[in-house]
Amino acid sequence: MLINSLNFIFAFLPVMLILYYVVPEKWKNIVLVLFSIYFYAWGEPVYVILMLFSAVLHYAMALEIKRQKESGKGAKGTLIFTIVLDIFILCFFKYYGYIQEAVNQLFGTGFSADALGLPIGLSFFTFRNLSYIVDVYKGKCPAEKDFFAFTAYASLFATMSAGPIVRYADVRQDFHTHQVYMSKLGEGAQRFIIGLSKKVILADQLALIGSQIQEYGDNLSVVSAWIYLFAYTMQLYFDFSGYSDMAIGIGKMLGFHFQENFQYPYVAKSVTDFWRRWHISLSSWFRDYVYIPLGGNRVSVVKHIRNILVVWCLTGIWHGVTWNFPVWGIYYGILLILEKYVWKDKLSKLPGWVSNTYTMILVMFGWLIFMNPSFDKGLTMFGALFGIGATGFMDVTAGYYLKTGILLFVICVLAARPALSRFANKIMEKSSVITVLVYGVLFLICISGLVFNSYRPFLYMQF
Amino acid sequence: MKKRKKRTAYYVGVMFGVIVLAFSLINVFSGTKKVSETENRALAQRPKLSVDSVLSGQYASEYQEFFNDQFVLRDAWIKLKTGFDRALGVVEENGVYLGKDGYLLEKFEKPDQKNVSATVEAMKTFREKHEDIPHYAMIIPSAENILKDKLPALVPSVNQDSYLDNTFQELSKSGINVVDVRTALKKNKDQKIYYQTDHHWTTYGAYVAFQQFAEAAGLDASAVTYEKLPVTDQFQGTLSAKSGFRTGEKEEVDVYLPKRNTNTTQEQLSSVIEYTDNQKKTGSFYNTDKLDQRNAYEVFFGGNHGLMKIKTPTTENKRLLVMKDSYANCFLPFLAPYYREIVVVDPRYYYGNIEELMETEGITEVLYLYSAPTFFSDTSLSVAME
């Protein structure tokens, strides 16, 4: 199930919330676990076992680590065992198809080289559980005794498919208190509607423009290529941050406080700044569990550069199995090294709009690598941006999308900056009526968009 | 200030709860609908629960479809969405442009060159096999071409003309008589030659094209004069259904009847049409039952048939084979006074042997009549003629 689908919003959510609100405190985690299992099994009726196995494993291993530490023994072995197992599962599912292919080539065997379907949210829940086990080992988080509290966290439907990678240490208290009231539900609803609007009104519409421009294939003009890249850049942000907003909103409805995952990344004034604002829960995960254990920046320059490259290569690999992802990661690693050791503080001396433009151009080139699994295609598109192989500077396509998309593009640019929400908040602070109206209208438009997705007129009389 | 924020949040919570609960409950208690009239399709029904379907994930995806299809006030939501899109400046939905003066125009998809060559090749071969009889080809551009000025500004359209020019040239070279109706249609574009909410041409458009054909085939077009008879004003075309634009719009459909004072009248009226697919015979080109349906264009012969034979009581001895798509349906009646028999094949629904037809029916002329979008995208013509 997707949290932006009609049957989530109009069947799963109300039933779950009502039950969750009415049962006594000690039952709330059990309700969450049951509904999360149902939610997960909806899309993955088989892999739900894997997801639960991972939850139980980390619950048990954390207690084991605690026991070993209390009895004065080292718990390092248990920790390493768990980490290795996690990484093995992650790699097994991600690279199953590739491994089979390699085996077939080596031994001439004929296994059918179908990639296993990647279990939904595998990368997210594995990273979540990993953070827990490491935190327990380091004493940053107590080992949870309450089985349902931990399993509710480890299987939580809201953050399952697209994060954020919430850490148990941050939310443990919430899973024991479950503070819920109407105004929290309202805050959660506000956040959920914002996220849903980002996804349905902005991202889905941008995706449509992107796919239409792509239909024209290699024959892009310079302006078309830029529109395409711009639309993709915006789509990615609103899609992803929309999901995060929805997850955070649902969390609020349940009485949980999840960390922010995005802080207006497209106003960043350097690439370093961008990564402090984009998918914060992932970059801070890599910082805390890879970068700092490797020594972070408190080592020699050479080792520091190595650390940065390792972390960013892994960040890339985390995003996908094709070659372009590690390249995309290393691209960022190099940029961060340049900003740290070559540009130094030159960037901060530039006017804000210059450093923001510099950042956005590099980020957009990054997305170009990110979206193209084939090197040739990425290169063709990169060329088109600068007129190499383009069909001229401007064509009808570009004019058409500029004209019909301009309002959407302007809304996107405004919505990606904090000024608009500051302005909206000011108005909303003044009037409850306007606030309710604005959210109500946004919600209705989103529903209409979701219904429209299933609008498929059958045109047998087409011919 | 903080208190106010909390109170506002409270109200938003109430609003959210009310909307979610209201639609959830109405969804549960409103019955399931079988069909969507606007979309002209069966709506997904509640899937059957079984261990297999649950484990394979099929149940989940079917249930999802069911839930979406049966969502309350479906049509109203669709209207809200297209209205919102229009406000945003969107002028294309599902491959349909919202044009000027109330016209909806279908986007012409870039043809697959391989399919086009296969079709043209098949037509050439067919012509070589039957060299002794005349072959005519009419490919009618869609409204997007003739009514270019009705398109929204700056639409990046695929140029139908270049595809038509190339194909016409190829066909002419092989001795097929191409009847290019573009100039004639353009000359008449101030009249209603295409429906505003449908992808078909009007009977008037067909009449204009028929005069071109008559000239090419040596028929005396002035022998019969027609009067226009509106048969419905409730036609809601496929383009409005497809796009969600102008869904309330209704149009008139006309048929052209020969004037009763000419002596050909009886001839056309007493034609017998034999539909081989359902073994029915009728005495009229028009199936008025179809007028009560949403898609009133089916009034012409009741829609498409794999094979039908029109036997007319003319004294002529010519027998025509027409290979066609639905554009021909409103065109065929104009041919009736000139042919003893018209054998009409729609290759998309015809699985018989065309060579055999040529022989058993004693065909003396061949006509291809297609709209450009079908001609350039459909692969069944080349298959049927193999």
ipTM summary value: 0.87
What's the pLDDT score for residue B181?
94
What's the pLDDT score for residue A447?
95
Max avg pLDDT among A197-201, B150-154, B220-224: A197-201
Q: Report residue A217's pLDDT band, with 50, 70 and 90 as the boundaries.
A: low
Q: Distance (Å) from the C-alpha of residue A322 to the closest C-alpha of chain B?
A: 26
Tell me if residue B275 falls in helix, strand or coil: strand
Mean pLDDT of B327-350: 91
How far, in Å, CA of B156 to CA of B135, rounded? Answer: 35
Using an 8 Å Cβ cutoff, are A127 and A284 in contact? Answer: no
Examine the pLDDT at B307 and tell me if it is beyond 60: yes
pLDDT in tens, A14-23: 999 999 999 9
Whether residue B8 and residue A428 make contact (CB cut-off 8 A), yes or no, is yes
Structural domain boundaries in chain B: 2-92, 101-384
| Beta pairing partners, B232 | B253
Q: Distance (Å) from the C-alpha of residue B369 to the closest C-alpha of chain A?
A: 12
CB contacts of B238 in chain A (<8 Å) are: 457, 459, 461-462
- Sequence-ordered list of residues with C-beta below 8 angstroms from that of A129, at least 6 positions apart, any chain: A54, A55, A57, A58, A86, A154
Whether residue A455 and residue B39 make contact (CB cut-off 8 A), yes or no, is yes
Which token pair is B49? 């629960």
Mean pLDDT of A125-148: 93
Structural domain boundaries in chain A: 6-178, 184-452
Mean pLDDT of all residues in chain B? Answer: 87
| Beta pairing partners, A375 | none
CB contacts of A22 in chain B (<8 Å) are: none
Rg (CA), chain B: 25
Which token pair is B282? 């009728």
Using an 8 Å Cβ cutoff, are B199 and B143 in contact? Answer: yes
Max avg pLDDT among A184-193, A295-304, B53-62: A184-193
Examine the pLDDT at A265 and tell me if it is beyond 50: yes
How far, in Å, CA of A132 to CA of A141, rounded? Answer: 7
Tell me if residue A135 falls in helix, strand or coil: helix
**Closest by alpha carbon to A326, among A339, A340, A309?**
A309
Examine the pLDDT at A128 and tell me if it is beyond 50: yes
What's the pLDDT score for residue B5?
80
Dihedral over alpha carbons B288, B290, B296, B299 (to 10 degrees):
-50
- Alpha-carbon distances of B272 from B281, B314, B325, B363, rounded to whole Å: 7, 12, 21, 18
How far, in Å, CA of A361 to CA of A348, rounded? Answer: 17
Using an 8 Å Cβ cutoff, are A169 and A281 in contact? Answer: no
- Sequence-ordered list of residues with C-beta below 8 angstroms from that of B22, at least 6 positions apart, any chain: none
Mean pLDDT of B196-224: 92
Whether residue A396 and residue B303 make contact (CB cut-off 8 A), yes or no, is no
Q: Report residue A403's pLDDT band, with 50, 70 and 90 as the boundaries.
A: confident
- 3-state SS record for B306-320: CEEEEECCCCCCCEE
A241/A394: higher pLDDT: A241
Peptide bond into B333 cis (omega under 30): no
What's the pLDDT score for residue A431?
84
Mean pLDDT lowest among A269-278, A393-402, B74-83, B321-330? A393-402
Using an 8 Å Cβ cutoff, are A197 and A442 in contact? Answer: yes
How far, in Å, CA of B155 to CA of B356, rounded? Answer: 46
How far, in Å, CA of A256 to CA of B133, rounded? Answer: 82
Taking the mean position of all CA atoms in its chain, how far away is CA A190?
Answer: 20
Which of A1, A42, A183 comes nearest B9 by C-beta?
A: A183
DSSP string over A359-382 = HHHHHHHHHHHHH-SSHHHHHHHH
Mean pLDDT lowest among A1-10, A106-115, A181-190? A106-115
Spell A107-143 as b/e; 16+ CB within 10 A means b.
eeeeeeeeeeebbbbbbbbbbbbbbbbbbbbeeebeb
Which of B14, B64, B304 comes nearest A463 by C-beta?
A: B304
**Closest by alpha carbon to A297, among A326, A335, A257, A337?**
A337
Q: Which residue has the tokens 């639309």?
A: A231
Q: Report residue A201's pLDDT band, with 50, 70 and 90 as the boundaries.
A: very high
Determine whether A359 is exposed, middle or buried from the number of CB atoms within 10 Å of its CB (0-12, 13-18, 19+). Answer: buried
Dihedral over alpha carbons A88, A91, A92, A98 (to 10 degrees):
-150
Examine the pLDDT at B262 and tell me if it is beyond 60: no
Consecutive H or E run containing B252: strand B251-258
pLDDT in tens, B86-102: 888 888 888 889 998 98
Q: Nearest chain B residue to A46 by CA: give it.
A: B55
Which token pair is A459? 């045109």
**B17 C-beta neighbours (distance < 10 Å), count:** 17
CB contacts of B20 in chain A (<8 Å) are: 9-10, 13-14
Which of A5, A448, A459 comes nearest B77 by C-beta?
A: A448
What's the pLDDT score for residue B82?
86
Which of A6, A44, A440 comes nearest B71 by C-beta?
A: A6
What's the pLDDT score for residue B78?
85
CB contacts of B244 in chain A (<8 Å) are: 452, 455
Mean pLDDT of all residues in chain A? Answer: 88
What's the pLDDT score for residue A462?
38
Q: Report residue A215's pLDDT band, with 50, 70 and 90 as the boundaries.
A: confident
How far, in Å, CA of B239 to CA of B104, rounded? Answer: 6
What's the pLDDT score for residue A112?
59
What's the pLDDT score for residue A463?
38
> What long-range pairs does B123-132 form, CB within 8 A, spacing at least 24?
B123/B171, B123/B174, B123/B176, B123/B368, B123/B381, B123/B385, B124/B170, B124/B171, B124/B174, B124/B176, B125/B385, B126/B354, B126/B366, B126/B385, B127/B174, B127/B175, B127/B176, B128/B174, B129/B355, B130/B358, B130/B363, B130/B366, B131/B175
Q: Nearest chain A residue to B61 by CA: give it.
A: A43
A319 an active-site residue?
yes
How far, in Å, CA of A75 to CA of A62, rounded? Answer: 10
Mean pLDDT of A353-381: 90
A87/B265: higher pLDDT: A87
Tell me if residue B50 falls in helix, strand or coil: coil
Whole-model pTM above 0.90?
Answer: no
Rg (CA), chain A: 24
- Sequence-ordered list of residues with C-beta below 8 angstroms from that of A196, at least 6 positions apart, any chain: A4, A242, A246, A442, A443, A446
Angle (nearest 5°) at CA A33 between A28 and A39 = 125
Interface test with A, best of B4, B15, B16 (most A CBs within 10 A): B16
What's the pLDDT score for residue A115?
53
Mean pLDDT of A172-179: 88
Mean pLDDT of B100-108: 91
Examine the pLDDT at B263 and tell me if it is beyond 70: no
Examine the pLDDT at B287 and tell me if it is beyond 80: yes
pLDDT in tens, A450-461: 998 876 655 443
Tell me if residue B272 falls in helix, strand or coil: strand
pLDDT in tens, B230-242: 999 989 888 888 8
Mean pLDDT of A265-275: 94
Tell me if residue A462 falls in helix, strand or coil: helix
Q: Distance (Å) from the C-alpha of residue B313 to the closest C-alpha of chain A?
A: 30
Q: Report residue B315's pLDDT band, with 50, 70 and 90 as the boundaries.
A: confident
What's the pLDDT score for residue B95?
85
